[in-house]
Structure 1
Amino acid sequence: MDREEYLRRWAELHGGMEPSSNRLVAFWLTVVHALARPLVALGASPNAVTTLGLGIVLAAVGAAAAGGPWLLLAGLLVLLSGLADNLDGAVAVMTSRTSRWGYVYDSVVDRIADLLFLLALWLAGAPAWVCIVTGGLTFLQEYARARAAAAGMSEIGVVSVWERPSRVLVVGMFLFADGLYGGDVTELAVVGAAVAALLAVVGTGQVLVMIRRRLRQSAD
């Protein structure tokens, strides 16, 4: 499957969101398409790539538990898991192997990964209560989207400030930064958790406001 066809199919599966309307999104999807092609050639299944991504996150948690300079590896693995999270969808689209089970499995793994990201921050020194609050808000945002879809809303609606890419970048960068200092500056993990919590509050608010507006419009 060439790039143009991949972008077209991606848009169909994401509520008609046109990648070309955002240069960063279009660039990222182009990179993902290029990296997914070898996996397609090897015959990798989308679910296998999803499982690999979860394994990478688990390895990141292990590195975070080791602490010290291992936090460098933890940060890199978190960032790598974000790439894997995109590759499974790309493989599914490019091999025409999208399925309802694959969608559910990917969503479940994503939620597990969200929790593991926050566990890694806690292991690096972030306050437990901040991580718990952030985790709760993250799940609330995703639950609200799922219930809105069940209520008849088919569009993405809004890309909040606390989507999967934001979660990967915030956790990955702060773990990596802490690792640069040998894990001795736990304040970096604290700041990372605080940034995550703030973005989770704003992101959840954005999604709830959007859902309320869209469902009211559809009822008129």
Structure 2
Amino acid sequence: MDPRPGADDGWSALHGDIEPSVVVRGWLRMIRALAAGPVLRVPPDVLSAAGVAAVAAALAAVAGPGWSWLAVPLIVAAGVLDGLDGAVALRTGRARPAGAVVDAVADRVGDVLLGVVLLVLGAPAGWVAAALTLVLLHEYLRARAQAVGMPGVGAVTVAERPTRLIVVAMAAGGAAVFPAGVPALGWGWGATFAITWTGIGVVGLVQLLVGVHRSIPPRFPRTR
């Protein structure tokens, strides 16, 4: 954990006042350890762009024959870079609204590229479209709810971006080890994890809707 007081508050401020969970706090601890030395001299927007480039490179890896395994470390690198941009912005005092916009746009571009990775791995276009539609609904709902000051959307759902990165990395890794498909099921890796992503997306959207519902103030004040 970053020993500086208020470090988690700074992360929350950059992410719409989301309160970090125990898992997120552990992730932040690792990212803050990496956000040191020469990394602090890299502009946060460059780190955001590098994260997108890493996902694009992962896409190129799965498109090339015999290179699916390379997509796994590239996707992991994309996740680390996605965390580093905010950590560097906080530590160097370069956090700004425009940077948050760049980060959000980079994340959505990266999400689309992750969907294309599954498409290249053989996922049906319909399942990929469903997974990406749920991502956009999830993020749009959270952004609009935060814009009107609803605190209930601060709960971290199962469908956050790290989960999406893990799902696609597992698909790429599985395709590298078992090119014929998922053992015992006979399904392609792209299709299997596009369906998995969609299922997780539905659960995450429901969790977010529950948070929004809880944040709606009662029409009339309660009286005893």
Residue-pair matches, total: 213
Distance 1:217 1:119, change over 3 A: farther
Task: Map Cα deviations across residues 69-105 of structure 1 (whole Å, 9 max, x no partner).
Answer: 3111112211210111001010001101100100001
Alpha-carbon distance in structure 1 between the residues aligned to 2:44 and 2:220: 37
- The question of whether the paired residues in 2 share the 8 Å contact of 1:56 and 1:80 is answered with yes
Q: For 1:25-58, what per-residue CA distance to the aligned partner results, in whole angstroms no more than 9, with x for missing partners?
A: 33221111111112444x1111111111111111
Separation in 1 of the partners of 2:191 and 2:204? 20
Q: Cα RMSD between the aligned structures?
A: 2.1
1:4 and 2:11 correspond: no
Larger radius of gyration: 2
- CA deviation profile, 1:134-160 (whole Å, cap 9, x unmatched): 100110011111111222225643211
Question: What corresponds to 1:108 in structure 2?
Answer: 105
| Match in the other structure for 1:188 | 189
Partners in 1 of 2:86 and 2:150 — Cα distance? 22
Deviations for 1:183-203, whole angstroms, at most 9, x for unmatched residues? 332622211111101001111
Q: Per-residue deviation at 1:215?
A: 2.2
CA distance in structure 1 between the partners assigned to 2:14 and 2:218 by the alignment: 23
> 1:57 is matched with which residue?
55
Q: Is the partner of 2:159 in helix, strand or coil?
A: coil
Identity %: 36
| Structure 1 residues 156 and 218: alpha-carbon distance in aligned structure 2, compared to 1, 3 A threshold | farther
Counterpart for residue 33 of structure 2: 34
- 156, 159, 163: which is aligned to 2:156? 159
Partner of 1:212: 213
Of 165, 168, 184, the residue aligned with 1:171 is 168
Specify which structure has the higher proportion of helix.
Answer: 1
After TM superposition, list the pairs within 5 Å mapping 1:82-97 onto structure 2: 82-97=79-94
Paired with 1:167 and 1:39, the residues of 2 have a C-alpha distance of 29
Contact map agreement 2:134 2:202 (CA 8 A) in 1 = yes
Q: Return the alpha-carbon distance in structure 1 between the equivalents of residues 11 and 202 of structure 2.
A: 28
Q: Is the 8 A contact 1:50 1:85 kept in 2?
A: yes
Bigger RCO of structures 1 and 2 (CA < 8 A, at least 6 apart): 1
Q: Is the 8 A contact 1:47 1:106 kept in 2?
A: yes
Q: Does 1:121 align with 2:122?
A: no
Q: TM-score, normalised to structure 2's length?
A: 0.87
Unaligned runs of 5+ in 2: 182-186
Q: Is the 8 A contact 1:74 1:176 kept in 2?
A: yes
Q: 2:67 aligns with which of 38, 58, 70?
A: 70
C-alpha displacement at 1:59, in angstroms? 0.6
From 44, 47, 52, the equivalent of 1:46 is 44
| Distance in 2 separating the partners of 1:217 and 1:116 | 41
The structural deviation recorded for 1:217 is 5.2
**Counterpart residue identity of residue 28, structure 2:** L
- One-letter amino acid of the structure 2 residue matched with residue 53 of structure 1: G
Shift of residue 62, structure 1, vs aligned partner: 0.9
